[in-house]
Amino acid sequence: MSQILIDPITRLEGHGKIQIFLNDEGEVDRAYLEIPELRGFEAFARGRRAEDMPQITSRICGVCPMAHHMAATKALDDLFQVEPPPAARKVRELIYDAFIVEDHALHFFYLGGPDFVVGPSAPKGERNVLGVVEKVGLEIGQEVIAVRKQLRDLIGFAAGKVIHPVFGLPGGVSRPLTPELQEGFQAAAGRAVDLGTLALRLFRELVLANPTYVEMITSETYTHRTYSMGLVDPQDRVTFYDGRIRVTDPSGGEFAVFDARDYLTRVAEHVEPWTYMKFCYLRDVGWHGFEDGPESGVYSVAPLARLNVAAGMATPIAQEASEEMVSTLGGKPVHHTLANHWARIIELIQAAERMTELAADPEILNPDVRTIPTETGGEGVGVVEAPRGTLIHHFRADEQGLITDANLIVATQNNAARIALSVDKAARALIHGVDVDEGLLNQVEMAFRAYDPCFGCATHSLPGQMPLVLCIRDPRGGILREIRRD
Amino acid sequence: MSEPDETFEPRIVAFFCNWCTYTAADLAGISRMTYAPNVRVVRLMCSGRLDPQFVLAALRDGADGVLIGGCHPGDCHYQLGNYNAQRRVLLLKRMLRAMGIEDERVRLEWISAAEGEKVQRVCNEMTEQVRALGPLHLAAVPRREAS
Amino acid sequence: MQAHDGAPKIGVYICHCGLNIAGKIDVEQVVAFAATLPNVAVARDYRFMCSDPGQDLIRQDIDDGLVNRVVVASCSPLMHEATFRRATAAGGISPFFFQMASIREHVSWVTADQQDATEKAKALVAAAVRRVALHEPLERRQSPVLPDAMVVGAGIAGIHAALTMANAGKHVYLIERESTIGGHMARFDKTFPTLDCAACILTPKMSEVRANPNITLWTYADVVSVEGYTGNFTVRVRRRPRYVDEDLCTGCLACIDACINKKAKVPDEWNEGLSKRKPIYIPFPQATPPVVVVDPETCIWFKTGKCPRPCIDACERDAFDFEQQERIEEVKVGAIVLATGFKEFDATRIPAYGYGRYPNVYTSVEVERLVNATGPTQGEIVLRDGTRPQTVGIIHCVGSRDERYNAYCSRVCCMYSLKLAHLIRERSGAEVYDFYIDMRTAGKGYEEFYDKLMQEGTHFVRGRVAGVTDEATTPEEEGKLIVRAEDTLLGAARRIPVDMVVLAVGLEPQPDAQDVRRLFNIGCGAEGFFTERHPKLAPVSTFTDGIFLAGACQGPKDIPDSVAQAGAAAAEVLAMVDRGMVELEPSTAFIDPAACSGCRTCVGLCPFAAITFDHDRNVAEVNEVVCKGCGICVGACPTGAAQQHLFTDEEIFNEIEGVLAYV
Amino acid sequence: MKPKVAFYWCASCGGCEEAVVDLGEELLTVADAVDIVFWPVAMDFKTSDVEALADGELAAAFVNGAIRTSEEEEMVRLLRRKAQVVVAFGACAWLGGIPGLANLYGRRSILDYVYGEEPSLEEHDGARPQEETDVAEGHVSLPTFDDDVRTLDQVIEVDYFLPGCPPPGELIRTAITALIEGTLPEKGSVLAPDVALCSDCPRLPSKPEKPSVKRFVRPHQVQIDPDLCLLAQGLICLGPATRSGCGAVCIAANMPCTGCMGPVSRVVDHGAKAMSAMASLLEADDEAEADALIGEIADPVGTFYRYSLPASLLHRRREPEAAGRSPS
């Protein structure tokens, strides 16, 4: 009896395992996406000093540490009941947008991009950043690297460290922005906008110009009609640093708008015995299994969802680009999972444009960047839009300022149910019998890679990493094939 | 903890300063004051030499308790050593508490050179206290297999 | 790290110490165990390792190349570490390739069970073996000894120590708190058992002090600070103003007669308040220096600023200086002898004896003054009302040999009580009752003196006195003090009516003994007397090198013992000073400049300012001569850059593992 | 023939991989100089690629993350077999890192909290992820987690340690260069300066000649002077106890050092040494006063062992169930 095994799933942050069960006809009966990782941050956050949360929780993920650092910092504003001075707020948002740009660039060019840019069934040795460089040329490759480096260096200087920042404090940031850094951000912002438009161009040329890809994107295989969730600004436009949480139903109508502090009344986590991942769903709709449609509480977050819940983008070039996408894909809401790659570029552009605005704001140099808390202890919730979706940090602390309870709703967790759906659906569509070729299996992986999922984030739990295995079983559970792609 | 095991013989490492407590231990000897054999003394010139690493190393190496002896406040042969020891032990004990190690397992006592009987009393008390607590049983630090 | 002469070859030597160790510890077992320990080349036992043959074992094994590290398991290092280091060095290797395991004081003497003792001894040996393998050869630093010396306290002990050293040609600073030297002895009339006159033997020595060019005498002065280390102390002395120029005053005492106060009305401390003095006074005729003192508390000029000050006119030498301020003198000396003496037990602490309540209850010190020819009554024994006592009761052990006050025996009370009994009888013809618990007359001619008193007809009543009362129960007790005592010889309680009660008060440490102790960084015993380095082997040394003890500050002593001890202390100082240098313990801290980050955690922690920060090299440095080797900085150093010779982290970690080597 | 290298992550956040990616252009030059045969986060090579290698065929394996599961253990043992040099890459692999704080809790209590107590959980029957589950379609299994987090060298022999959370680019560069040029120091070395951060600290000149602390303050409680030594401001800065090599970036950002670069070679237990220094600097001789002031530190373990708990002498919190596992 032959075996197939994918080990481990690659080009995503974190770890996963897919179990696919075939029926007697050799058709996919059910695919399970298991997240075997648990690091327990919430558990060992208890007893730590509240003000250390931004630095401790950033270790949940080294790819989006800024998102956790910022969500925790905002939760501390709430917990210590302090309002950061305007300059501090702007410094935070500027740095946060810079982070969104470089992180989206990372995913497009390094992690998700290769699938399209190099091709889903290209030889594995090429399906990586170096392959991308091959395809798009060294200059572009170097420009991508250069821009990310420039942005990450700036973030490093401003936040202390780009990987695991230290600048966030309840009531502000650890130090004011220097004029030199302001100039640096201004320069980088312009360059980032160009990179965004470049990425857009590449996407048009390499993806949209290729009918097979377009067909793949719009195919039912990669489509689910679920609820969408994301932060919106007062004008209901896409925002990353702060805003209200908006939820739209599968047909695009507003389902709910609420403040992060009320998340517990809106969102619940579902536990399955076969995975360490906890699946988020909308309380008001309820958990009805891994289903899409208006009757299922399953919802999605991340770039495409953000575009779906927002009336539009907050900056001109991004707005233009989003209109192009929506019209190309037949109007909002867009439910094609693979369109996340496109939406990601559009978001990259908005973040870059927003950087330009903030860096130009004279107020941002104001040395008053700290409000010293007078209260200790209490409860606080903080929310940001992480690159991978809505991220909520929720802490309670005692009178000593030590954490007594911590609860984290992490981007990929919001998406978890939908990702499981995608994998299941892709498997059904792509796998017929046990003869599965490697490119096909990569297309199964593409189903979740499109979300830029971070299982490290998602299970912010006991250290422990497990390769993702694609394991195909017969109806009696016996292993037909385990695919170890070689 | 489980109920006291009378057959359990605690291992206690003591760090005594040369001028007061170690001399007091000598006095206890000269005065033939018998006490529990469980306490094994490591001589330091001053309790101010105490490095928290020593206490942890003793616990790691199999001690069930650690006793630190210094001169009474104001009497340190080096004027300030015992105050330093006190601050270090106070902080260390808070850390040990957080690590699930009972307070009674680490004890700091001021014993002057004239207090032989206090050496006797403290060593006996501590041995009984630790006996009542039972073995420390620290989780073993994983050791890699020889490769 | 490793010995220059290759891998460690450790010799382990277990001492039987007669039966002190071997009687409790199975030495053979320990030897066998030691032989199995890593790096141990030789494991032997011997009856007395500290004896010459014992030390020769070590020397020989080193000579024969069998051994290059030495562990001796015997008594406390405080006892014989030096001995065995010498033996190790005698073998031709560094004396610091040695480690001692205390299996006597810490094991055989304190452990009930033989097997327990043997196991514990093994652990201590294991620790010493692990540790000594890491020892490094160290240089003993030598430090010059300043030629001058200081004696603090000028009673008979201090005087004798000062004179002994001065006569050997050393310059001595003699510091006395009172306005005159002489201490307690100067207040006595006669001394036991010879009954020779105290003044006759003391005053020559007092004037000799004054005359000796090698002695700088500062009375009315006290030590305020001591810095430095053995051989090199810097002492600051405060000299209080006496408002009279010592160099000009000749002690003619004309000023005292001239004082505006025609009558003396200030209670005279010297005479225990039994007489009065004027605001300007001299304690007693032979006071040394013979210089008057103005007491600002009672002098009209100081109190009101209004006084014609006839004293000034009366002085031919123009010696008065009412502007005189206290002065701080700073001197550097190589060694210091402490002879700060004792204070008498405060009799009011035992109300039952009625002191302070019944005027005719006296302390022995008061009676010393009464019987003294220079005292308030010129030697007449009279009660406060001027009448002569017919019967006198002397109560021994007042404040001594009593758990409630002092458990110890004050050693001198029996003898001085006998002396007083004799003098009282001699001077007043009174019947003397002597209440004692045990008559302690150990000393040359002491027992004979006791016999003499018995022949003289002194009544001795053996038993502790319950109390003294004036409540008469019979006519003959009327108007008398009744001493209630149990007569253990008769086995009956007795009431003995007397006219006068003398309380033989014991000796206690000076009230400020604790302060003095801290000032000189030495130790006190539980009872408060200064502790000697070793009761037998170093009776006049202290735990602080270069500081020695003489007289009753170390414990109750009579005059012969005090003088003998003073001579011994002087000899120790002379030995030091003549050698010209001392060897300092090498267990100092040092900082590896390559490892020091310049964080300065250590700098402020050093109690002796031995650590300085080099801003150019950005590292902290230890001045090894100033460093006293406490290791505070080493324990605090956050990166282990600071280490301590003989107590490195590595050595201590290994010792810890060793003591936990339960077998 | 280019030396083959592998990057692998165990229980980690991916920050170490990011740090490698951050080498930017140099990544390309490195990619030229070496042959990366295994790097799950960025390249499609699988375990079998490694198994296919001859023992010792890998010039080096860079492993980040702490060890928690049997899978991780197997993988690092495999890499150990295949690699001439194994480098523990980053704080987690060297010391356990921040996820090592999980050693303050037993596995059980963590599962109970995450799946039983958190407020956002649906009302459910207290279901927990099971290692073995029968689902409608068949049988699904999850890996077992050890009760504690281990450092890499508590599992396999490690040749070099690269400190930091994540390791500073400069140190990674130096290490890789040394590897390529064969100029690595003696085995067992930590590839960073062996002196504490103060030596590099721009604020050192502002440190008092004789430092001391009246009371410790927490970063959120005070306006932090951007130029004055942080310890002199009463902030617990682990710079004096922590390796340099990071360029004091946190301090440059006006925040105290939290010790991610770990201890120097002369220190056995990072937290204990740091505690000793901090406690010594406190100006309080009276016991009650000292204890009160020390109490204000609030969380000694999280403060002094933030990155090194699994590597510390105590390794993990003492749990009653640990009683069976006493060292022999």
* Cβ-based contacts of B139 with chain D (< 8 Å): 148, 315-316, 318-319, 322, 325
How much is the average pLDDT of C629-642?
Answer: 97
* A3 confidence band (pLDDT: 50, 70, 90): very low
Q: What subunits touch chain C, counting only 3 or more CB pairs under 8 A?
A: B, D
* C472 confidence band (pLDDT: 50, 70, 90): very high
Do C351 and C471 have their domain in common?
Answer: yes
Both structure tokens of C88: 């190790």
How much is the average pLDDT of A204-212?
Answer: 89
* Cβ-based contacts of A106 with chain D (< 8 Å): 21
Q: Which of B49, B71, B121 would best serve as a mutation to test chain C binding (most C beta carbons within 10 A)?
A: B49
Gyration radius of chain B over CA positions? 16
pLDDT at D326 over 50: no
Residue B86 is part of a domain; what is its CATH number?
A: 3.40.50
Per the CB < 8 A criterion, the answer to whether D305 and D271 are in contact is yes
User: Where in the sequence is the domain holding B36, given as residue range(s)?
Assistant: 12-133
Q: Which residue has the tokens 């002593």?
A: C557
Contact D285 B135 (CB under 8 A): no
More confident residue, C376 or C11: C11
D-chain residue closest to B90, CA distance = D291
Do C520 and C622 have their domain in common?
Answer: no
Contact D119 A80 (CB under 8 A): no
What is the distance between the alpha carbons of residues C162 and C156, in angstroms, rounded to a whole number?
A: 10
Q: Which residue has the tokens 């003696």?
A: D186
Residue C31 lies in a domain: yes
Contact C640 D264 (CB under 8 A): yes
Residue C127 lies in a domain: yes
Using CA atoms, how far residue A249 sits from A215, A287, C94, in Å, is: 25, 15, 87
Contact D273 C640 (CB under 8 A): yes
What is the distance between the alpha carbons of residues A409 and A392, in angstroms, rounded to a whole number?
A: 5
Residue C391 lies in a domain: yes
Contact B49 C107 (CB under 8 A): no
Do C466 and C495 have their domain in common?
Answer: yes
Percent of chain C with pLDDT over 90: 88
More confident residue, A383 or B140: A383
Residue B1 lies in a domain: no
More confident residue, A119 or B5: A119
pLDDT at A14 over 80: no
> Cβ of A201: how many Cβ atoms within 10 Å?
12
* Cβ-based contacts of B28 with chain C (< 8 Å): 105, 110
- Which residue, among C117, C132, C8, has the nearest Cα to C62 in the 3D structure? C8
Do C476 and C422 have their domain in common?
Answer: yes
Please, which residues have CB within 8 angstroms of residue C324's CB and are 6 or more apart in sequence?
A: C241, C242, C243, C244, C245
Q: What is the dihedral of CA C16, C20, C23, C29, to 10 degrees?
A: -40
Residue B3 lies in a domain: no
The torsion angles phi and psi of B80, rounded to 5 degrees, stand at -120, -5
Residue C608 is part of a domain; what is its CATH number?
A: 3.30.70.20
Per the CB < 8 A criterion, the answer to whether A262 and A338 are in contact is no
* Cβ-based contacts of D327 with chain C (< 8 Å): none
Report chain C's mean pLDDT, rounded to a whole number.
94
- Nearest-CA distance from B55 to chain D in Å? 9
Percent of chain D with pLDDT over 70: 88
Residue B127 lies in a domain: yes
* Cβ-based contacts of B58 with chain C (< 8 Å): 656, 660
* A459 confidence band (pLDDT: 50, 70, 90): very low
Both structure tokens of A293: 């449609």
Nearest by CB: C597 against D195, D208, D273: D195
More confident residue, C143 or A125: C143
Per the CB < 8 A criterion, the answer to whether D207 and C613 are in contact is no
Give the DSSP letter string of A119-144: -TTS-TTTSSHHHHHHHH-HHHHHHH
User: What burial letters (b/e) apply to A107-136, b meaning 16+ CB within 10 Å?
Assistant: bbbbbbbbbbbbbbebebeebbbbbbbebb
What is the distance between the alpha carbons of residues B48 and C633, in angstroms, rounded to a whole number?
A: 8
Contact B80 C607 (CB under 8 A): yes
* A453 confidence band (pLDDT: 50, 70, 90): low
pLDDT digits (tens, 9 = 90+) for D186-208: 999 999 999 999 999 999 999 99
- Nearest-CA distance from D187 to chain A in Å? 27
Per the CB < 8 A criterion, the answer to whether D34 and D4 are in contact is yes
More confident residue, C528 or C597: C597
Both structure tokens of A334: 């867009």
Cis ω for the linkage preceding B73 (within 30 of 0):
no
- Nearest-CA distance from C140 to chain D in Å? 26
- The H or E element containing residue B57 is helix B52-60
Q: What is the reported pTM?
A: 0.84
Number of domains chain B contains: 1
pLDDT at residue number B50: 98
pLDDT at D135 over 90: no
Residue C202 is part of a domain; what is its CATH number?
A: 3.50.50.60
Both structure tokens of A12: 């995503």
Per the CB < 8 A criterion, the answer to whether D196 and D242 are in contact is yes
Domain D4-98+147-181: top CATH class? alpha beta
How much is the average pLDDT of D30-59?
Answer: 77
* Cβ-based contacts of C595 with chain D (< 8 Å): 194-195, 264, 266
pLDDT at A481 over 60: no
The torsion angles phi and psi of A275, rounded to 5 degrees, stand at -150, 150
- The least confident of C84-88, C317-321, D19-23, D274-278 is D19-23
pLDDT at residue number D27: 65
Q: What subunits touch chain A, counting only 3 or more CB pairs under 8 A?
A: D
Percent of chain A with pLDDT over 90: 57
D-chain residue closest to A58, CA distance = D13
* A420 confidence band (pLDDT: 50, 70, 90): confident
User: Where in the sequence is the domain holding C73, given as residue range(s)?
Assistant: 10-139
What is the distance between the alpha carbons of residues C271 and A127, in angstroms, rounded to a whole number?
A: 109
Residue C567 lies in a domain: yes
- Evaluate whether chains D and B are touching (3 or more beta carbon pairs less than 8 Å apart): yes
Q: Which residue has the tokens 């002369």?
A: D266
pLDDT at residue number A118: 76
Considering C453, C478, C508, which residue would you say is the last residue of a domain? C508
Residue B122 lies in a domain: yes
C-chain residue closest to B45, CA distance = C630
Do C368 and C447 have their domain in common?
Answer: yes
Contact D314 B60 (CB under 8 A): yes
Fold of A39-369+384-414: Cytochrome-c3 Hydrogenase; chain B (1.10.645)
* Selected residues 223-282 of chain D with any CB under 8 Å from a CB in chain A: 223-224, 226, 249-250, 252-255, 258, 260
D-chain residue closest to B2, CA distance = D320
Contact A8 D47 (CB under 8 A): yes
pLDDT at residue number A119: 75
What is the distance between the alpha carbons of residues D247 and A187, in angstroms, rounded to a whole number?
A: 25
* Cβ-based contacts of D317 with chain B (< 8 Å): 98-100
pLDDT at residue number A168: 98
pLDDT digits (tens, 9 = 90+) for A95-153: 999 999 998 998 888 777 777 777 777 776 676 667 777 778 888 888 888 898 899 99
DSSP B91: H
Contact A21 D137 (CB under 8 A): yes
Do C190 and C151 have their domain in common?
Answer: yes
pLDDT at residue number A17: 65
* Cβ-based contacts of A66 with chain D (< 8 Å): none
Using CA atoms, how far residue D131 sits from C311, C642, D113, D134, in Å, is: 106, 51, 18, 10
- Evaluate whether chains C and B are touching (3 or more beta carbon pairs less than 8 Å apart): yes
- The least confident of A13-22, C44-53, D307-316 is A13-22
- Evaluate whether chains C and A are touching (3 or more beta carbon pairs less than 8 Å apart): no
A-chain residue closest to D304, CA distance = A48
Query: For chain D, where do the domains classified as CATH 3.40.50.700 start and end?
Result: 4-98+147-181
Residue C643 amino acid letter: Q
Per the CB < 8 A criterion, the answer to whether C638 and C648 are in contact is no
* Cβ-based contacts of C635 with chain D (< 8 Å): 276, 280
* Selected residues 55-84 of chain B with any CB under 8 Å from a CB in chain D: 55-57, 59-60, 62, 73, 80, 83-84
Percent of chain B with pLDDT over 70: 93
Contact B29 C587 (CB under 8 A): no
Number of domains chain C contains: 5
* Cβ-based contacts of D255 with chain A (< 8 Å): 160, 166-167, 174
* C523 confidence band (pLDDT: 50, 70, 90): confident
Half-sphere exposure of A330 (CA within 13 A, CB side): 7
What is the distance between the alpha carbons of residues B2 and C290, in angstroms, rounded to a whole number?
A: 78
Do C210 and C188 have their domain in common?
Answer: yes
pLDDT at B147 over 70: no
* Cβ-based contacts of D138 with chain A (< 8 Å): 19, 21, 473, 475-477
pLDDT digits (tens, 9 = 90+) for D78-124: 999 999 999 999 999 999 999 999 999 877 787 788 788 878 887 76
Residue C106 is part of a domain; what is its CATH number?
A: 3.40.50
Contact B90 D80 (CB under 8 A): no
Per the CB < 8 A criterion, the answer to whether A37 and A12 are in contact is no
Residue C430 lies in a domain: yes
Using CA atoms, how far residue C45 sits from C16, C72, C157, in Å, is: 7, 9, 45
D-chain residue closest to A18, CA distance = D140
Judge whether B27 is closer than 8 Å to chain D, CB to CB: no
pLDDT at residue number C224: 96
How much is the average pLDDT of D136-149?
Answer: 72
